[in-house]
Each structure stands twice: as structure tokens, then as C-alpha cells.
Amino acid sequence: MSIEKRTDVLIVGSGVAGLTCAIKLAMARPDLKITMMAKATKDESNTRYAQGGVAAVWNIKADTLEKHIADTLDAGDGLCKEDIVRMIVTEGPVRVQELIDWGARFDKELSGEYDLGREGGHSENRILHYKDITGWEIERTLLEKAASLSNIIILENYFAIDLLTQHHLGYNVTRMTPDIECYGVYALDKENLDVETHLARITILATGGAGQIYRATTNPIIATGDGMAMMYRAKGRISNMEFVQFHPTSLYNPAVESQAYLISEAVRGFGGVLRTLDGEEFMEKYDERKSLAPRDIVARAIDSEMKRLGDEYVYLDCRHLNVEEFKIHFPNIYEKCLSAGVDISKSMIPVVPACHYFCGGIMVDRDGKTSFNRLWAAGECTASGLHGANRLASNSLLEGLVYGHNIAEQVKTAIDKFDFKEGIPAWNAMGTTHPKEMVLITQSWKELKDIMSSYVGIVRSNVRLRRALDRLWLLYQETETLYNSSTLSPQLCELRNLITIAYLVTRSASMRHESRGLHYTTDYPEKLDHLEETLL
């Protein structure tokens, strides 16, 4: 059955960037129908799992915009776009205040002032937080605000399959084709497995990251890089995919396969110290900032110590900290550790690096405009220029707030130039059969995680990257054959997207003949004198 739906603005994704944009646009243009498409439930996104907080210059007596800008540029290792950094850091406090006005409950001290935390790479305390579940609190705030606006509709359990562009009308679209346009998406209703045509005057991608290409990741199971993969298949511009941030400290649990539990960087900001299994403090060998060095440095240091000693994890020592204060600041982390048999007042926490955040993605300008007409994008699925070669802790939620606002400012007037595109064909499901080989999908996903974790992880080399590309090519061929001969399932679509993301990361890594930020290769350990983006 062919189903076509129409909406003025279609936002794919329901995290901080997508919700902020929807709210701002709905308030500015109550005459527009704004539809949000959530892959699972509306509150399931990477935003929900952000523990640390949102970075913003709040205490102007001790902190300045220039300090925040300098910290961001330093963490980005030369690849940040300074004008974008300045824009986001400068606009950030205003956007955070709006969030507070909408009901966000950031923690306060007894004096009534906000309790500002500090994380690796930050020179001052500037992290606003809600206990150790800040992302959950921000998601709650935004969903409640969105629910108060009648022109926002949220579709749950919808999977965006592909962007609708000219090639669906028979045009020969290439990556160099000027003026490619986006008319909406094909989407799979996960409840009845019908593929629907969703037409929009303007489409916005806010689809999050792709941590599920690795065995150990802090990302939820839905983080499969769908927006980035759709954009690449539609011949859109992608950049800097080699820069994948591994959070240094996820709770070590070899039995967990889908989502590792994050031990927030704020714990190190609170005084936690990294040690080897024999109790040796080791970060001073790698950086003068020790356990508060930026994430790329800490993750590589942990990886180096694990390989040097043959250990599967290191320790985060919090035994010297005030346990009652720890419970107040990190109640969920405390309980999670306790459930794993670790009393932080008596035992050290076993931790291991896990894939956490993508710094590359869909190329966008300062207004969130992509290389396609009628298509904007925001959040982790994009390469905005804020993060460069490495994200500064707690800058991601800030980016989502600022870009969500800026896109709404653009779209509220730009939409009047566009109408719905007629003549888009319905999804062609001819010749497909019901999938009988779920075991193939499951096994291919495991193989993909093994390939990326073994060969395209924290430390890379030419021979590892070549082996990864060879293995990925076989997985791609097998999956495309299955895709073209089976009824669509969400798992098959996700696998297809993950293979695309894995290829983009590996191909980009092989193109960068230097070590910079999150990309470290033993064949090119030094930085090049000149800077450039990796474009795909």
C-alpha cells in the first residue's frame, strides 16, 4: 500500500538540536505544520545519555568568552573554524538561559548560584549540570515545551530510509551536481513495516551519531549514523569522518555488547584519578594536566597503558573523595557502580575507552545549511567546524541549542520560497521477499564491530586501514544483495547505514597522512604544517 504524507517542515531526530529547532520554529510560525520523526520513542536519543552537562560562560567574574573559545580551539587541535566557535560560545549563554526559562533544573549551590562543574580541557568551572543525568533533564524540558505547541507533531517508531532528491525523478545526480534539492524522505513505519513517502517543503536532519560501529560505545542502540549515511548515498558532502571521539572512561563490563555505561568526565573533574591495575598513577607521563587532559590524550594514554601491560582496563580511583558529596553529584554513577559490585569508597572503578562522539559528518555552514537546497542539519550528524579534530567536553549540547535556534531563524522565512514537490514515486517494493536470514544481519553487525574495533580504533596504521577496507567491501556486497532481495526491516537498514559509516571513517582515516586530535596513526605520528578538511 502506497502512503504519502505531507508536512511543511520535517525534522528527522528528536534530540536537543531537533527539538530546539522545532520549538523555535513552531513559536515563530504557528501557521506551519512541523513533524518530527523519532526512530524509537521520542525521548530515546544520544541527548538523553549525556551525563556531564552543557558548557557555557556563566560566572563572568571568573570566566570569559575568550577563555571558552581558547579551550575549544585548543581541544580541536587546529581544525576548528574560529568563526563558528566564536558564534556558538557567544550565543551559548543566551540559549542556555532560554532552556532554563522553559524549565531546566540545573543544580545549584546553597547560595542559590549554579553549581558549575569542570571537565577535561576546560580552564574554568563552566559546566551547568543536573546531577549526572543532564541530558535526560534537557530532553525532558524540551519535550514538555514541544508538547505545549499544537503545531508540532512527533511520529514515534519511524525509520528514515533515504532522502528524496532529483535522482528519484530520473536525474543523474552526482556529488558535484549543483543545486541538488531535498523533498523529504522515504520512511519505514516500524510497527507495520509499511514504507511511506513523507514530503516536506523543508527537511532538517538531526539524527545523531553512529557509535554502534564499535564494540564498546556509550551510544544507545539507535545510534547507527542514519542521517550521515542517507546524505552520502544521496551524493551530499561529508567531511572529517576520521575524527571519532572515544570517551576515556566507560564502566568495564565484558558482558555488555550494545551500550557501555559512561563514567562521566565530571568525575575526574571532581578529583578522580586514573591508575593502572597495580595502582600506579600514569597520566603525568602523557600530559601536565594529568587526568584532566582533553579526551583524545586521555583515551590514547589509557590505550597505551593497557597495551603496554596487557590489561583489559585501568582504574579510576575515587576512594579519596568525600563519598557523601560524590553521591550528591553522581547518584546514578554511584548506584551503577554499586550494582556492579564496586563501592567507590573502598574499591577503584574499572574503566575502558568507548566510542562516544563523532566530530565529522554532514557539512553545514554557520546557519546549518547543507550542500543540498531545502535541507538543513544540526547536532552530532554534522561537521559544523565547532569541534575540529576533537570535541571539548560538554560542547555538544551547546552546539545543538545554538544550531537549532539558528536553523529556525533561517527556515521561518526561507520556507515561503518552497512548495511540495510533485511527481515523487512511491517506494518500489517489487520483487522483495520476507527476510529469512536474520542470523546474517546479526552476524554481519558483529563482524562490522570487530573490524572497526580492531583496525580503526584509537590507534591506526596503514596496514590496519587497508585490511578494514577489504573486509568492509565484502560486508557491503553481501548486505546490498540482502537489501535488494528482502523485505525491509529496521535491522537491515541500520546494518546498511553502519557499513556506510564504517567505510567513511576508514576511508577518511586513510586519506589523512598525519596524526591530529582524535586521529592517531603509527605511520604518520607527526602533524602536518598545513591544515585541511577530509572531504568525501
Quote the CA–CA distance of 369 and 362 in Å, as a whole number. Answer: 10
Architecture of domain 3-242+359-417: 3-Layer(bba) Sandwich (3.50)
Give the pTM: 0.91
pLDDT for residue 207 is more than 50: yes
Residues of the chain with CATH 3.50.50.60: 3-242+359-417
- What count of residues does the chain have? 536
Please tell me the distance from the alpha carbon of residue 107 to that of residue 128, in angstroms, as a whole number: 7
Q: What single-letter amino acid sits at 64?
A: T
Dist. CA 118–CA 316, nearest whole Å: 17
Beta-sheet strands, E only, within 145-265: 152-155, 158-164, 184-189, 194-205, 238-239, 244-251
Beta strands, E only, 393-515: none
- Tens digit of each residue's pLDDT (9 = 90 or more) over 256-285: 667 889 898 889 989 999 999 999 999 999
Pairing of strands 314-317, 238-239: unpaired
Residue 441: count of CB within 10 angstroms of its CB? 19
Q: pLDDT category, 47, cuts 50, 70, 90?
A: confident
Q: What per-residue confidence (pLDDT) applies to 1?
A: 56
Interatomic CA distance for residues 54 and 396, integer angstroms: 8
Q: What is the largest CA-CA distance in the chain?
A: 68
Span 216-226, pLDDT tens digits: 898 999 999 99
CA distance 117 to 126: 6
Domain with CATH 3.90.700.10 in the chain: 250-352
SS3 203: strand
| Type and span of the H or E element at 317 | strand 314-317
Burial of residue 25 (CB within 10 Å: 0-12, 13-18, 19+) is: buried
pLDDT in tens, 78-123: 999 999 999 999 999 999 999 999 999 999 999 999 999 988 789 9
Between CA 295 and CA 255 the distance in angstroms is: 25
Contacts of 473 (CB under 8 A, 6+ apart): none
In the residue annotation, 295 being an active-site residue is answered as: yes
Of the residues 95, 118, 295, 471, which is catalytic? 295
What is d(CA 371, CA 369) in angstroms, rounded to the nearest whole number? 7
Q: Which CATH number fits domain 250-352: 3.40.50.1100, 3.40.50.2300, 3.50.50.60, 3.90.700.10?
A: 3.90.700.10
